[in-house]
Structure 1
Amino acid sequence: MTNGSGFNFNISLSVLDHLGRNLYRSFITVIGEAISNSWDADAENVWITIEREENYFVIKDDGIGMSEQDFQDKFLKIGYTKRKNGDQKSSGGRPFIGRKGIGKLALLSCAKKINIITKTLETDYVGGVIDNNQLDQDINDDVNAQNSKLGQLDNEIFSKYKKDHAKGTIVYFEDIHEGIKNRLDYIKILVALYFRFSLVDTKFNIYINDEKITVNILTDLAKKTEFLWKINELEDPYINLLGELKENENISSEVKIKGFIVSVVKPSHLKIRNSDEKIGVDLFVNGRLREKNILSHFSTFSTRVVASYLYGQIHFDQLDSEDDDKFTTSREGVKEGDADFKILLDELETILNKISNQWDEWRIKHRQEGDIEYDKRKTPKQRAAMSLVNKTADEYTPPKDSESKTKINGWLNDLNDDAQFNVLSYVDCFMSENLIRKYIKDKKIELSEEAEKNIRKYKAAEENNTNNGNISIDIMKNNEGLSYLSMDGLANLLDKSKNSNSASLARDAIEYKPMRNAVAHTGRLTEEAQLRLASVYINIKERLETLFDN
């Protein structure tokens, strides 16, 4: 085994430092770079072992591995690219993820020591230790790269990882800078979300602490997902997990994108437990995450209510161009102004507008609040009534395993629109009639003989009803006479025209009364009656505004 001291970086150390050895900002980014390297090496399996307490992790793959010459001339050459001869795919037919050859800086700078061994089927292990403390000293002392050698390996740390390892690379990251802060469950979820190479090659597997990472890790998220928009018929095993969808739609696009956007029941469902991370709509190229939260490019849409419910994946392999590198140096975004990226964003804007409208319709259909601020199909009053009715209906909704759930939900849906109308109408009745009572008292308008007679009649009826109900408490908050007069009685005191054909509050009250009483008795009005009641109420409101101004 060739060990350490014979190897050195194939680049000026000052250039290495200026390229940015702290280019990548997160632990998951480092893991992502290692997984991408394994993909490019035609590995079928990547095993990641993470030991948070001991502050180290190991990444092992069964890729083609490297010979002694490859290790020196390719791996240790910062800036080496597999695509220099125009190759866009590996020998196994996979699209290359790596491009500039500086991605390995993420691997080489995340820990105090990086121990590397690698072998091919034909050659033995070669490798060495990158000691970042020593590298810092060599850079500070302006040591020539030829004289800055890799350190000697401690073969003992690799002993258990070399078992049954015929070929591939093993990297042992020792003493991670700032420690491994992320919990294991969190890391597994992010790997399942952000590394979708299996969509390109189903033989590619990722393991974390011996657990195979599949979309099944995202089952809890899938259960909280209610709406799906699938773009250009993407075949994704995650979509098969979405067994509790209430609505779904296929969206066709002439742009060569594919993916899905989905909506959860509550925005809080997008937060990854025990972290500040929130799942969003992300951009992938050849199975690799290239930009998180692509919705941030849409300044208006990203601030809307609907955006806080959405997550998903947009796959646009066209961004992996043979000629141009379209990604930022940090590899965490796409360069601004790229023509292909603009095509994608323009198409996404159209798709998002459709999703926004449909999302609101579906939310209303399923008795949930939609986008109150941006949707103008309902007034603020109607939205408020809808919210109250929906919350009340939820109290009557049977549990998921109830045999009667479908039937009861059908009844609730049938009552929903009428309930919203009646809630609004009752509030209108309550406010207008009580405002008239206050106005009459304020103006000291005397009760007519007819009003006194009606008050005695209704008081007697109330007394009889309370006796029959064995009720000994006061029911009405105010027992004064005006409380027993409804709109017609109040209108006659306030605004009764001598000519029955002239416009007056009393005349409107005659037409208003039967529909008002039906609402008060929880009746369901016909569509014609609803329109008539709404029209009459507008007249009443205008008459009251005129009276109150005088």
Structure 2
Amino acid sequence: MSQGSAAPTFEMTVDLNVLDHLGINLYSNIAAVLTEAVANAWDADAETVSIKVSASNDRIEIEDDGIGMSVEDLNAKYLRVGYRRRDEDTEHGRKTAKGRAVMGRKGLGKLSLFSIANVIEVQSSKDGQAHGFRMSVDGIHRAVSRKESYHPEPLAGSAVVVTRGTKIVLSDIKRQRLGKGMVALRKRLARRFSIIGEASGFKIEIDGVPITAADRGDLPKVQFLWTFEGNEPEASTISHVLERESLPARFEAWDSTWRVSGWLGTARKPKDLDDDEAGNLNGIVVFARGRLFHENVLDRLNDGRLYTKYLTGQIEADFLDADDQPDIATSDRQRVQEDDERYVQLIAFLRSSLNQIEKKWNEWRRKHEVEQAKATSPALKDWLDSLGAGYRKSAETLIAKLSALPVDEEEDRKLLYRHGVLAFERMKLRGSTEELAASIDSLDKLLKLLADRDALEASLYRDIVKSRLEAIDKFTGLVDEDAKEKVLQQYLFDHLWLLDPSWERASGSELMEKRLTEEGIIVDDLTEKEKLGRVDIKYRTTAGKHIVVELKKAGRRMALHELEQQGRLYVDKLKKILAAQNESSPNIEVVFVLGKPVEDEMTNPDRVKYAMASVSPGSRIVHYDTLIHGAQASYSEYLERSKKFDKLEKIVSGI
């Protein structure tokens, strides 16, 4: 730029094309559009706003009894896109003449009407003077193409019928955006305002019938209720609520003017929150200044815990829309700028509140769902009542969680109960019932855990039946010593639980047996065995122990010193083998299985005890008859368990 020349002039203009983005294409449903018209009526100090939809759905009238607008108001405020009332109206920009907190802020809401209608008539009366005009999408587009300002068409005097407030008539309706009818519209508008009712002096009517808080449809679905301090719902609206608790309304560190109001609640079943007309009620609506500010803040919390599937509620947080703070609402006023500190604080507060809710929900859920389940299934009640106190709480938690899973049909839920009972009994044998109850937070996890009923039943019986009945059946048929010896030789080494219940899962080691054979402890030669009195020796390991079991011929009488000498030999040889494997202090037990008692067992038991201890700690003598009696005792115990399983089967079948 040469010295002395004039500075260039710059000018920013806004094309009418902006209406396509801020109005015609900004909103997608009739409830969101009418929210703007209702909010304008509130800001005009109206007591009633009436909405009428023609039977053919081709005409919508919105009329209020507010203060109305003059021609100057219509031009300077209504037709001026972006008029910021709170900043520009020094007298009633933030508080109306009636003292209402003004809802409008951006000056864009009136454009939303173009989202559902191609033609809009506006009539308004103020100070006894009524005026009106007609706008059309086609007219605006023609002005855009000619790069001209748009001038709405004035209505003839005879066409202006309003005598008080403002009347808006929408025609040439875009039918695809009308939604699911008037019942749905009533519910959706009810969920967009918290100032409906006598307390606020504001009424919204659809086709002459007032909208009420009950039209929201959420509170009647609530089983458990949490209200923020200072909120007291009408008793008649919460008479169905089973449990209720109060929550703090603010963080202590917050500004003194910051607080929330409203309530949160949980339904009994997730499907209770499904509503084709009102939309899914599984969410938390946020209001500010009495109107919708965020459609569902629950989505923003990213909380995947089970209880959130049952959650609904509505809270008011006026500090999100403070006059002296930046506007954080998006253009369609249904979401917010999420990095604003006020919103960040609200999210943190809600997370804290929901943590408290989850704890109570689990407690209340277990209490009431268990009672409900017991009432609907006497067999399930019998099972729960039969459990000891140590198991009952885990079982109740299990039943409560099963009842909380999203299952539509009651028969399917009963099937879950059946599987749950079988699984619990299985886990009870393993001592892990709490793990079972704690692991169920989704249907997928449950199905993976439980598999199918046949697998569960097989699991219940396998450990006791398969491993024991074969051996026990053999024992019950024994009639002489040879049979006893033959059967014991065949089964004893594979069923060490007959010797010691703690050896149930003892494992063998072919390599170690080979080493013991090389050391001369285990004898394969039958002739040599005969010289030794028909000795059979097996080696096992279990729970850190090395076990040498010597089975003597049933008819042979042994002397104590023979057993002591043989036992020490076994221990010395085994220690040598294990030392070569870097195990310097092995735990070794030697068990002698005899048919006839050692003389000292009757005359000097202390000597027997000392002799076995000198072999190695834990070494001992057992007898065939003792094993048979033990097997019979095990058989009796199994019969008792079978009776319990039979009873369990009856319970499961009866659920």
Q: Give the TM-score taking structure 1 as reference length.
A: 0.68
Aligned match of 1:198 in 189, 196, 203? 196
Matched letter for residue 76 of structure 1: L
Give distance in 1, aligned partners of 2:294 and 2:76: 31
Please give the per-residue CA displacement for 1:457-480, whole angstroms capped at 9, x wherever unaligned.
xxxxxxxxxxxxxxxxxxxxxxxx
**Is residue 197–residue 287 contact of structure 1 (8 Å, CA) maintained in 2?**
yes
- Counterpart mapping for 1:28-67 below 5 A: 28-51=31-54, 53-67=56-70
How far did residue 12 of structure 1 move? 5.6
Give distance in 1, aligned partners of 2:401 and 2:22: 57
Query: Which residue number in structure 2 is paired with residue 321 of structure 1?
Result: 322
Aligned match of 1:448 in 469, 474, 490? 474
Query: Which residue number in structure 1 is paired with residue 97 of structure 2?
Result: 91
In the alignment, structure 2 segments of 5+ residues that lack a partner are 1-12, 252-258, 374-391, 412-419, 430-452, 480-490, 506-629, 649-655
Aligned match of 1:232 in 229, 246, 249? 229
Query: Which residue number in structure 2 is paired with residue 169 of structure 1?
Result: 166
Give distance in 1, aligned partners of 2:195 and 2:457: 62
Q: Relative to structure 1, is the Cα distance of residues 62 and 11 closer, same or farther in structure 2, using a 3 angstrom cutoff?
A: farther
Structure with bigger gyration radius: 2
Please give the per-residue CA displacement for 1:162-195, whole angstroms capped at 9, x wherever unaligned.
4xxx520000000122442321111111112221
Q: Relative to structure 1, is the Cα distance of residues 519 and 366 closer, same or farther in structure 2, using a 3 angstrom cutoff?
A: farther
How far did residue 322 of structure 1 move? 1.9
Give distance in 2, aligned partners of 1:389 and 1:513: 36
Give distance in 2, aligned partners of 1:34 and 1:185: 19
Query: Which residue number in structure 1 is paired with residue 25 of structure 2?
Result: 22
Aligned match of 2:145 in 137, 140, 148? 140
- Counterpart mapping for 1:392-407 below 5 A: none
Q: Relative to structure 1, is the Cα distance of residues 244 and 127 closer, same or farther in structure 2, using a 3 angstrom cutoff?
A: same
Give distance in 1, aligned partners of 2:397 and 2:637: 21
Query: Which residue number in structure 2 is paired with residue 281 of structure 1?
Result: 284
Give distance in 1, aligned partners of 2:396 and 2:203: 53
**Is residue 67–residue 123 contact of structure 1 (8 Å, CA) maintained in 2?**
no
How far did residue 434 of structure 1 move? 3.7
* Segment of structure 1 superposing worse, 512-521 or 311-320: 512-521
Query: Which residue number in structure 2 is paired with residue 251 of structure 1?
Result: 247
Matched letter for residue 342 of structure 2: D
Matched letter for residue 119 of structure 1: S
**Corresponding residue SS for 1:139:** helix
**Corresponding residue SS for 1:367:** helix
Give distance in 2, aligned partners of 1:210 and 1:217: 15
- Counterpart mapping for 1:296-307 below 5 A: 296-299=299-302, 301=303, 303-307=304-308
**Corresponding residue SS for 1:48:** strand
Query: Which residue number in structure 2 is paired with residue 126 of structure 1?
Result: 131
In the alignment, structure 1 segments of 5+ residues that lack a partner are 1-9, 371-376, 396-416, 454-489, 524-550
**Corresponding residue SS for 1:13:** coil
The yes-or-no answer on 1:210 pairing with 2:225 is no
**Is residue 231–residue 252 contact of structure 1 (8 Å, CA) maintained in 2?**
yes
Query: Which residue number in structure 2 is paired with residue 466 of structure 1?
Result: none
Give distance in 2, aligned partners of 1:182 and 1:124: 38
Matched letter for residue 139 of structure 1: V
* Segment of structure 1 superposing worse, 280-289 or 420-429: 420-429
**Is residue 196–residue 213 contact of structure 2 (8 Å, CA) maintained in 1?**
no
Give distance in 2, aligned partners of 1:245 and 1:233: 18
Q: Relative to structure 1, is the Cα distance of residues 515 and 194 closer, same or farther in structure 2, using a 3 angstrom cutoff?
A: farther
Matched letter for residue 69 of structure 1: E
How far did residue 215 of structure 1 move? 1.9
Aligned match of 1:79 in 68, 78, 82? 82
Query: Which residue number in structure 1 is paired with residue 414 of structure 2?
Result: none
Aligned match of 1:387 in 402, 417, 421? 402
Please give the per-residue CA displacement for 1:360-414, whole angstroms capped at 9, x wherever unaligned.
22222112699xxxxxx998997379738999xx99xxxxxxxxxxxxxxxxxxx
How far did residue 272 of structure 1 move? 1.7
**Corresponding residue SS for 1:326:** coil
**Corresponding residue SS for 1:84:** helix
Q: Relative to structure 1, is the Cα distance of residues 78 and 274 closer, same or farther in structure 2, using a 3 angstrom cutoff?
A: closer
Query: Which residue number in structure 1 is paired with residue 355 of structure 2?
Result: 353
Give distance in 2, aligned partners of 1:135 and 1:103: 17
* Segment of structure 1 superposing worse, 283-292 or 221-230: 221-230
Matched letter for residue 433 of structure 1: Y
Give distance in 1, aligned partners of 2:339 and 2:153: 44
Q: Relative to structure 1, is the Cα distance of residues 348 and 72 closer, same or farther in structure 2, using a 3 angstrom cutoff?
A: same
**Is residue 329–residue 335 contact of structure 2 (8 Å, CA) maintained in 1?**
yes
How far did residue 267 of structure 1 move? 1.3
Q: Relative to structure 1, is the Cα distance of residues 431 and 217 closer, same or farther in structure 2, using a 3 angstrom cutoff?
A: same
How far did residue 149 of structure 1 move? 2.1
Please give the per-residue CA displacement for 1:422-474, whole angstroms capped at 9, x wherever unaligned.
68659999734344433468xx7572353699xxxxxxxxxxxxxxxxxxxxx
Matched letter for residue 191 of structure 1: L
- Counterpart mapping for 1:398-547 below 5 A: 431-439=459-467, 445=471, 447-450=473-476, 494-498=495-499, 516=641, 519=644
How far did residue 348 of structure 1 move? 0.7
Q: Relative to structure 1, is the Cα distance of residues 429 and 14 closer, same or farther in structure 2, using a 3 angstrom cutoff?
A: closer
Query: Which residue number in structure 2 is paired with residue 311 of structure 1?
Result: 312
Give distance in 2, aligned partners of 1:388 and 1:340: 38
Matched letter for residue 276 of structure 2: R
Q: Relative to structure 1, is the Cα distance of residues 316 and 329 closer, same or farther in structure 2, using a 3 angstrom cutoff?
A: same
Matched letter for residue 249 of structure 2: S
Matched letter for residue 67 of structure 1: S
Give distance in 1, aligned partners of 2:78 and 2:270: 44
Query: Which residue number in structure 2 is paired with residue 401 of structure 1?
Result: none
Give distance in 2, aligned partners of 1:233 and 1:251: 10
Q: Relative to structure 1, is the Cα distance of residues 519 and 205 closer, same or farther in structure 2, using a 3 angstrom cutoff?
A: same
**Corresponding residue SS for 2:196:** helix
Q: Relative to structure 1, is the Cα distance of residues 245 and 155 closer, same or farther in structure 2, using a 3 angstrom cutoff?
A: farther
Q: Relative to structure 1, is the Cα distance of residues 207 and 82 closer, same or farther in structure 2, using a 3 angstrom cutoff?
A: same
Matched letter for residue 438 of structure 1: K
Query: Which residue number in structure 1 is paired with residue 106 of structure 2?
Result: 100
How far did residue 502 of structure 1 move? 7.2
**Is residue 426–residue 459 contact of structure 2 (8 Å, CA) maintained in 1?**
no
Size of the aligned set, in residue pairs, is 433
Q: Relative to structure 1, is the Cα distance of residues 199 and 385 closer, same or farther in structure 2, using a 3 angstrom cutoff?
A: closer
Please give the per-residue CA displacement for 1:50-85, whole angstroms capped at 9, x wherever unaligned.
126242211000000011211121111111122124
Give distance in 1, aligned partners of 2:195 and 2:474: 84
Matched letter for residue 250 of structure 2: E
Give distance in 2, aligned partners of 1:389 and 1:252: 27
Matched letter for residue 265 of structure 1: R
**Is residue 283–residue 299 contact of structure 2 (8 Å, CA) maintained in 1?**
no
Give distance in 1, aligned partners of 2:175 and 2:121: 18
How far did residue 338 of structure 1 move? 0.6
Give distance in 2, aligned partners of 1:131 and 1:502: 89
Q: Relative to structure 1, is the Cα distance of residues 276 and 287 closer, same or farther in structure 2, using a 3 angstrom cutoff?
A: closer
How far did residue 503 of structure 1 move? 5.9
Give distance in 2, aligned partners of 1:133 and 1:336: 37
The yes-or-no answer on 1:290 pairing with 2:293 is yes
Query: Which residue number in structure 2 is paired with residue 486 of structure 1?
Result: none
**Is residue 118–residue 125 contact of structure 1 (8 Å, CA) maintained in 2?**
yes
Please give the per-residue CA displacement for 1:221-241, whole angstroms capped at 9, x wherever unaligned.
54432010111232445x741
Aligned match of 1:151 in 141, 150, 153? 153
**Corresponding residue SS for 1:49:** strand
Please give the per-residue CA displacement for 1:99-134, whole angstroms capped at 9, x wherever unaligned.
1211211124531110110002x2221110011111
Give distance in 2, aligned partners of 1:67 and 1:389: 58
**Corresponding residue SS for 1:32:** helix
